[in-house]
Chain A
């Protein structure tokens, strides 16, 4: 079974631009979660989508948004990029059954904002 895939793997943008990251979950998984990882803040939860609906949300500004499609693929969008948005963005998929879920991670997208 193929793992979680994320595209692109690397991105370089400038301040003020917007960016869209993509995540394809493991086949059969209906939940997709997004995390931001930085050296200073560690792994921070952005949001989770399940069956095309946002089910959980972290404490990030509205510039960070996401969506999920009917095939469970998910996209994350960051508008008006700031230097502090430079990070590794990780996507994780799971079956979506709640507390007993196990999350499986993709390799991440490395975003650099100049």
Chain B
């Protein structure tokens, strides 16, 4: 069955430190991949997406993600986090029919 897995439910990081959020997918063919962020009480905002081409994708707010086919992964990174990056992050994938599937989310807490 197709699935998107975010192994880390909760991550705590110090302000100014680097952040990496993990995402693994299980699909028959390489899906299209996305990262979204959700602030409390808000909808989801698109950070970046990968369809094809360069495996390192740049997004908004200083985020980037790297697609690794051999590891079926699409990890999100940020070199230096800000207190405003505290939020929940969702990895998502679409199948050939365009049906979205989301991971369970990773809650990021930023400490001073």
Q: A99-B96, A102-B49 are in contact. Are A108 and B43 (CB under 8 A)?
A: yes
Query: In the complex the two chains form, is B95's CB within 8 Å of A99's CB?
Result: yes
List, in ascending order, chain B residues with CB within 8 A of A98's CB.
96-98
Query: In the complex the two chains form, is A43's CB within 8 Å of B105's CB?
Result: yes
Query: In the complex the two chains form, is A43's CB within 8 Å of B90's CB?
Result: yes
Roughly how many angstroms separate A90 CA and B103 CA in the complex, as a whole number?
Answer: 16
List, in ascending order, chain A residues with CB within 8 A of B49's CB.
102
Query: Is B84 positioned at the interface, with any CB of A under 8 Å from its CB?
Result: no
Query: Is A75 positioned at the interface, with any CB of B under 8 Å from its CB?
Result: no
B51 touches which of A35, A43, A92, A100 (Cβ 8 Å): A100
Query: In the complex the two chains form, is A100's CB within 8 Å of B32's CB?
Result: yes
Query: In the complex the two chains form, is B45's CB within 8 Å of A99's CB?
Result: no
Interface size on A, residues (CB 8 A): 26
Within the complex, what minimum Cβ distance (angstroms) separates A46 from chain B? Answer: 11
Interface residues of B in 48-87 (CB under 8 A from A): 49, 51
Question: Interface 1/0s, chain A 30-41, versus B by CB < 8 A?
Answer: 010101000000
A101 touches which of B36, B90, B94 (Cβ 8 Å): B94
Roughly how many angstroms separate A46 CA and B97 CA in the complex, as a whole number?
Answer: 16
Smallest Cβ-Cβ distance to B101: which chain A residue: A45
Roughly how many angstroms separate A108 CA and B97 CA in the complex, as a whole number?
Answer: 25
Smallest Cβ-Cβ distance to B103: which chain A residue: A42
Query: Is A25 positioned at the interface, with any CB of B under 8 Å from its CB?
Result: no
List, in ascending order, chain B residues with CB within 8 A of A110's CB.
41
Smallest Cβ-Cβ distance to A9: which chain B residue: B41
Query: In the complex the two chains form, is A90's CB within 8 Å of B100's CB?
Result: no
Query: In the complex the two chains form, is A99's CB within 8 Å of B94's CB?
Result: yes
Query: Is A106 positioned at the interface, with any CB of B under 8 Å from its CB?
Result: yes
Interface residues, chain B, with chain A CB atoms under 8 Å away: 32, 34, 36, 41-46, 49, 51, 90, 94-105
Interface residues, chain A, with chain B CB atoms under 8 Å away: 4, 31, 33, 35, 42-43, 45, 48, 56, 90, 92, 94, 96-108, 110
In the complex, the 6 A-B pairs of residues with the closest C-beta atoms, listed nearest first: A105-B43, A98-B98, A105-B44, A43-B102, A107-B43, A42-B104
